[in-house]
Structure 1
Amino acid sequence: MSGHNKWANIKHRKEAQDSKKSAEFTKIIRELTVAARSGGGDPDMNPRLRVAVEKAREANMPKDTVERAIKRGTGELEGVNYEEIMYEGYAPAGVALYISTLTDNKNRTIADIRHVLTKYGGSIAEGGSVSWQFERKGVITVSKENVSDPDEFMMKAIDAGAEDIKEDEDTYTIMTQPEALYKVVDALKDEYKIDSYEPTFVSKMNVHVTGKDAEKVLQLINALEELDDVQEVYSNFDIDDKELEEIMSRIG
């Protein structure tokens, strides 16, 4: 988890500095629409939509764009009907990939994913061969610089429903059951600045990769995440933080 969590933090910083806002907006708009369609247009009553609205806010998406996306989801405006599909695959060195997509054209999506996997030494996996390696969790990240009393912070999180709290050099990562995620967020948000929170898939066992294999894995995941139809790529790789930083500085 440590390597993958570091990867997520690097991506978050990169997206905040990146000029590719249109691609980022496309993914968020789709998520807003699908979240509103599945759970209604009120973020206070729809946890999935609440996360999507927060991501839109972090990306500085215009308010009217957010509102239109939600209204397309609730049927107040016409729009494209996106389907949620999970694909399974492998990266080099046997690293598992669980790929979340929102698409209006399944044939295009699978063709694009196959192309990227083949180009970077990966492959599509049969349904069920990868998914069992992941479990649904809530994940909250808080920078250590925003926590003055670690013991008090941890106790507050645990009392609210946290299962586990991991820490690296800069960050606390709180793990919860999916249904407890928002309760923990609400218990912490008034006192601590939360960097990110979301329901996600966490790998049960990690595969440690180094050298050329590590670089190939990151290049492959980068390429998958650049596809418009791909929302998230969950993986079970683990790379030492220093090596991860070095590779990311080269491949961007």
Structure 2
Amino acid sequence: MSFKLAQYLGRVAPAIELYAASSIRWNPLYSMASFTEARRFAGHSHWQNVRHTKEARDKQKSKAAQIYIRAVNNAIKAGGGIRDPKLNSQLASVLAEAKANSVPLSTLERFMKAEFTTDPYFIEVQAPGGLFILIESCAKSVNAERHQIAGIVKRYGCSISPAGKIANEFFDRLAWVCVPGSPASNLTDLDAATNFGIDIGANDVEEVTVDGQIAFKFYCDPSNVEQMRLLLERDHAIQPVSVEDVLVPKCKVQVDSKAYANLLEMYERIRDQHEYVDRIVDNVTVVGDSQRD
């Protein structure tokens, strides 16, 4: 038997067996069609795997970019609004780190351009049960940003509230300047930092750890945080580690883990689709989760 004939019979054998077991008329195209279809679906499965892998990789890159966008925003705030990395050392450091981690600098540079952004503002969201969410964005097209985010939160049973209603009534806004502990500046312990905080007009002082080193957060009113930063730099030669304003809910709402998972899914979708969203704050505490309390 020739090789070609054996190859042909190997292909049509399943069709011959089917014919022998039934009254269906044998057609040699049956085996070829089955063979072709199997290969097509195998290819389809491979394509799906590649697509899912690529989507996961793209999502990971997007999350990394979001982290550095927030870092850029904080660096600009800490630098008094200076968007030029040549004049803002903290911003230059963030960009260098982003480049080292393969984050596209074009994304961060576009974020830094004033024509694409404006001063941060809050899009305020509420859900049944007294759940409140603040979404901070600096996208220049405020109305478009609100409209698009409204479409996302609506799918999760939430709605947009008038500006200022939630932020002012249900959250306290604080700010802090974090500086490293140092014998040179007499910031060696909490007592020394407290005395120093009184001198610079801080409302409160907290001892923290930054990169394994002792540091101190000096809390103040958000309207005074820039003045405090400049005071530390110019009058005391202390370079802040970071400057940030924080929103603290006046009261918290308990949700179960399933409801919280839905919230996280909504937050992730918002961040994936809105690159100028800086942070999302809520008044949620998860039942049985001490880390959220």
What do residues 65-120 of structure 1 show as CA deviations (whole Å, max 9, x unaligned)?
799669954xxxxxx44345532112564232222222244464234312332344
Q: Which amino acid aligns with 2:189?
A: D
Correspondence 1:99 to 2:132: no
How far apart, CA to CA, are the structure 2 residues paired with 1:149 and 1:98? 35
Q: Secondary structure at the match of 1:209?
A: strand
Is the 1:137–1:177 contact (alpha carbons within 8 Å) kept by the matching residues of 2? yes
Matches within 5 A, 1:232-251: 232-238=279-285, 243-244=290-291
Matches within 5 A, 1:47-86: 47-49=80-82, 53=88, 54=90, 57-58=93-94, 60-61=97-98, 72-73=113-114, 80-84=115-119, 85-86=121-122
How far apart, CA to CA, are the structure 2 residues paired with 1:123 and 1:168? 37
How far apart, CA to CA, are the structure 1 residues paired with 2:202 and 2:161? 33
Change (3 A) 1:215 1:110: same
- State the partner residue of 1:174: 218
- State the partner residue of 1:132: 168
Aligned residues: 209
| TM-score between both structures, scaled by the size of structure 2 | 0.51
Q: With a CA cutoff of 8 Å and minimum separation of 6, indicate the structure with the bigger relative contact order.
A: 1
Percent identity over paired residues: 16
Is the 2:68–2:108 contact (alpha carbons within 8 Å) kept by the matching residues of 1? no
Is the 1:206–1:238 contact (alpha carbons within 8 Å) kept by the matching residues of 2? no
- State the partner residue of 1:250: none
Q: Which amino acid aligns with 2:168?
A: W
Matches within 5 A, 1:1-252: 19=61, 20-25=63-68, 31=73, 47-49=80-82, 53=88, 54=90, 57-58=93-94, 60-61=97-98, 72-73=113-114, 80-84=115-119, 85-91=121-127, 93-106=129-142, 108-133=144-169, 134-141=171-178, 148-166=188-206, 173-185=217-229, 195-198=241-244, 200-203=245-248, 205-212=250-257, 213-226=259-272, 227-238=274-285, 243-244=290-291
What do residues 5-35 of structure 1 show as CA deviations (whole Å, max 9, x unaligned)?
xxxxxxxxxxxxx754434455667x59xx7
Q: CA RMSD in A?
A: 4.8
What do residues 105-161 of structure 1 show as CA deviations (whole Å, max 9, x unaligned)?
4464234312332344432123342132245432234689x9741211222123212
Q: Which amino acid aligns with 1:129?
A: K
How far apart, CA to CA, are the structure 1 residues paired with 2:174 and 2:266? 24
The CA deviation at 1:191 is 8.9
Change (3 A) 1:115 1:240: same
Change (3 A) 1:207 1:67: closer
Q: Which amino acid aligns with 2:117?
A: Y
| TM-score between both structures, scaled by the size of structure 1 | 0.57
How far apart, CA to CA, are the structure 1 residues paired with 2:192 and 2:137? 39
Is the 1:90–1:97 contact (alpha carbons within 8 Å) kept by the matching residues of 2? yes
What do residues 14-69 of structure 1 show as CA deviations (whole Å, max 9, x unaligned)?
xxxx754434455667x59xx79xxxxxx86xx2338x95356335256x979966
Q: Secondary structure at the match of 1:49?
A: coil
Is the 1:91–1:117 contact (alpha carbons within 8 Å) kept by the matching residues of 2? no
Q: Which runs of 5+ in 2 are unaligned?
A: 1-59, 100-104
How far apart, CA to CA, are the structure 1 residues paired with 2:161 and 2:197? 37
